Amino acid sequence: MTLGEIDRMSQHRLEAGRTEPTVSVVIPAKNEALNLPHVFAALDPDHHEVILVDGNSTDNTVEVGRRLRPDITIIGQTRKGKGNALACGFKAASGDYIVMLDADGSTDPAEIPRFVAALNEGADFAKGSRFMPGAGSSDISRLRQMGNFWLNKIVNLLYGTRYTDLCYGYNAFRRQCLSSMDLDGGHIEGIDESTMLWGDGFEVETLINVRVAKAGLRVAEVPSFEHKRRHGTSNLNAFSDGIRVLRTIDAERKRGARRAIASARASQQREEASWPLVSMMAGGASQ
Ligand SMILES: Nc1nc2c(ncn2[C@@H]2O[C@H](COP(=O)(O)OP(=O)(O)OP(=O)(O)O)[C@@H](O)[C@H]2O)c(=O)[nH]1
Ligand SMILES: [Mg+2]
C-alpha cells in the first residue's frame, strides 16, 4: 500500500464519524528487557497500538515484551540503528497519530496525552522539548546539553525554526507527516541488517525535525521530562553521533538545493516542451 493510500484511508476513517483518532506507539528497543516492565506499566493498552522494534537484542527483550503484552506487534528491523528501527516501526503502525517512545524508561508514557492534545489542537508534529517551562531532564549530561544547544542553534538559523530541543526522541505526529519525513525502512537489495545507512542512526531525530520544517508542517513544542535510563547502557556516543547530526544538517541543505535544482530543471524542461506548442497555437490562431 502506498503512503497516499494509507493517508486517504485514515482520513476516510476520521471522516466516517469516528471522532477519536487512533494512536500507535513505536518503541525502538535494543537490549531493554530490564526496562520494558517499567515502560509497559505506564502504557494504556486499551487506547494504543504498540509496535516494539527489536534491534537484534542479545538479552530477552522480545520474550519479555511478548510476555508483558501479548497483544503488541513485535518486529525486527531491516538495518542497524535507532533511525532504521523507527522507520520500520512507522511503516508497521496503523494509527492516525504516531508516537515515538524510548524503551529505557527515559520517556514517560504518561505524557502521551499531552502530545495527542497538541495534535488534536491542530499541530501536524508535536515535538517534545526538555528545555521549555514545565520540562526538564535528569538524564542529559553537560556535554550532550552543550552539543544539543549548538546543533539546535544551527538548525534554527538555517531553517528558520524555533526549536528548543533538537536532539530529543519523544515526539508524536499525524501519519500524513510520513510522506514529508521520507524515511526508508524497506529492504534494499544487497544491504543486510548489519549495515547502517544515512538516517539509520541517532541523527534520525534531526532528519525528521529538519524535513518537517522544510515541508512547512505545523509544529507545536510540548514540555517533557526526561528520566534517567533505568538499567543498562546508552547506545549513543556524544562525539560520533554529534558528527552524524552535524553532517545531517549539511546533507539536508544540499538535498534541499538538489531537489530545488531538479524541480527547476524539470519545470524548465516542461516550459521548453510546452513553448513550441504555445507558439504553434499562437501561430495557428494568427493564420
Ligand atoms: N531497535 C533499536 N533500538 C535502538 C537502537 N539503538 C538505540 N535504540 C533504542 O532507542 C532508544 C534510545 O536509545 P538510548 O541508547 O537510550 O540513547 P540515549 O537515550 O541517547 O542514551 P541514554 O541517555 O544513555 O539513555 C532506546 O529505547 C534504545 O533501546 C537500535 O539500533 N535498534
Ligand atoms: Mg535513553
Q: So what's the pLDDT on residue 54?
A: 98
Cα 153 to Cα 146, 148, 160: the distances in Å are: 11, 8, 10
Compute the average pLDDT of residues 265-285.
42
Establish if 273 belongs to a structural domain.
Answer: no
The answer to whether the CB of 193 is under 6 A from ligand 1 is no
Cα 200 from chain centre: 11
What pLDDT does 187 receive? 87
pLDDT at 46: 82
Residue 285: the pLDDT is 34
Ligand approaching nearest to the C-alpha of 29: 1
pLDDT at 173: 98
Assess whether the C-beta atom of 236 lies below 6 angstroms from ligand 1.
Answer: yes
Q: Is residue 97 part of a domain?
A: yes
The x, y and z cell numbers of residue 107, run together, are 520517556
Tell me if 163 sits within 8 A of 259, measured CB to CB: no
Q: How many domains is the chain built from?
A: 1
Q: What is the best residue among 52, 78, 82, 151 to mutate for testing ligand 1's pocket, by most ligand atoms within 8 Å of CB? A: 82
115 located within any domain: yes
CATH of the domain at 56: 3.90.550.10
Beta bridge partners of 222: 128
Q: State whether the beta carbon of 130 lies less than 6 angstroms from ligand 1.
A: no
Give me the residues paired with residue 223 across strands: 129
Answer whether residue 116 is part of any domain.
yes
Indicate the range of 82-86, 98-102, 270-274, 276-280 predicted with least confidence.
Answer: 276-280
User: Is 107 domain-assigned?
Assistant: yes
Range of the domain at 41: 3-261
Find the range with the poorest average confidence among 2-11, 150-159, 218-227, 229-238. Answer: 2-11
Q: What are phi and psi of 137, to 5 degrees?
A: -155, 140
**104 touches 32 (CB < 8 A):** yes
pLDDT recorded at residue 190: 86
Burial 130-144 (b: 16+ CB within 10 A, else e): bbeeebebebbeeeb
Out of 77-91, 157-171, 176-190, 257-271, which region has the weakest mean confidence (pLDDT)?
Answer: 257-271
Mean pLDDT of 176-193: 91
Percent of the chain at pLDDT above 90? 73
Atom of ligand 1 lying closest to residue 77 CA: 1
Instruction: Give the pLDDT confidence of 31-85 residue by residue, as tens digits.
Output: 999 999 999 999 987 889 999 999 999 999 999 999 999 999 999 999 999 999 9
Residue 57 CB partners (closer than 8 Å, separation 6+) = 29, 30, 31, 32, 33
What pLDDT was estimated at residue 17? 56
CA distance 208 to 182: 9
Which DSSP category does 228 fall into?
P
Number of C-beta neighbours around residue 106 at 10 A: 24
Nearest CA, atom 4, ligand 1: 82
Is 276 inside any structural domain?
no
> Considering the domain boundaries, does residue 283 fall inside one?
no
Please state whether beta strands 171-174 and 125-129 pair in parallel, antiparallel, or not at all (unpaired): antiparallel
**What pLDDT digit, counting tens, does each position of 211-264 carry?**
999 999 999 999 999 999 999 999 999 999 999 999 999 999 888 666 655 555
Q: Is residue 168 part of a domain?
A: yes
Asked if residue 171 lies in contact with residue 107, where contact means CB atoms within 8 angstroms, the answer is no
Residue 273: pLDDT band (50, 70, 90) is: very low
Does the pTM surpass 0.75? The reply is yes
More reliable by pLDDT, 189 or 232: 232
Instruction: Provide the percentage of residues in the chain whose pLDDT is more than 70.
Output: 82
> Does ligand 1 have an atom closer than 6 angstroms to the CB of 229?
yes
CA within 13 Å, CB half, 54: 19
How many other β-carbons are positioned within 10 Å of the β-carbon of residue 171? 26
Indicate if ligand 1 lies below 6 Å from the C-beta of 26.
no
